[in-house]
Amino acid sequence: MFAPIAGEVVVSEHYRAEPERLERIVQHADGTLQVAVLHKVVDPQWRLPVWSVLTVARVASVTDAERHLAASAVRQY
């Protein structure tokens, strides 16, 4: 959905329909992982939907990333 920056690798990307959001784990060149949760918003200024960042965290492992995603799923934004 979103292209990674040079040196980044998408480890996991999941679309959730309810609430409409995108969960993404990206590994950076230095080996650290970044977890991002985005949600779709409707902006009357734009014709296409806009994805807004709800939360971003840098973590050390995929397990930590999955825990972060599970915790953010409990908090309904």
pLDDT digits (tens, 9 = 90+) for 13-57: 999 888 888 999 999 988 899 999 988 888 888 888 788 888 889
- Counted domains in the chain: 1
H or E element at residue 76: none
**Predicted pLDDT at 75:** 62
CA distance 74 to 66: 13
Instruction: Compute CA distances 40 → 9, 11, 14, 30, 64, whole Å.
Output: 23, 21, 14, 30, 25
> What is the pLDDT at residue 2?
61
> What range defines the domain where residue 70 resides?
9-74
Q: List the beta bridge partners of residue 25.
A: 12, 35
Q: How sure is the predictor about 1, in pLDDT bands with cuts at 50, 70 and 90?
A: very low
In a domain, 33, yes or no: yes
Q: The whole model's pTM is what? A: 0.76
